[in-house]
């Protein structure tokens, strides 16, 4: 069971692209750090 899903996210600071097209899912019971 997915508890979190992020698809095709991009983060920009003005003209600077810090993160482009990142995707991930977190399943129930997973531990992230």
DSSP 32: -
pLDDT band at 33 (very low <50, low <70, confident <90, very high): confident
Give the residue numbers spanning the domain of 17: 1-28
Residue 32 confidence (pLDDT) above 90: no
The answer to whether residue 33 is domain-embedded is: no
In a domain, 12, yes or no: yes
pLDDT digits (tens, 9 = 90+) for 2-25: 999 999 999 999 999 999 999 999
Does any domain span residue 18? yes
Q: How many CA atoms lie within 13 A of 14 on its CB side?
A: 1
Nearest to 3 by CA among 22, 28, 23, 31: 28
Tally the domains of the chain.
Answer: 1
Task: Grade residue 31 by pLDDT with cuts at 50, 70 and 90.
Answer: confident
Does residue 9 form part of some domain? Answer: yes
What pLDDT score does 17 carry? 98
């Amino acid at each position: 069971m997915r508890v979190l899903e992020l698809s095709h996210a991009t983060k920009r600071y003005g003209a600077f692209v810090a993160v482009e097209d990142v995707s991930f899912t977190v399943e129930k019971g997973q531990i992230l750090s």
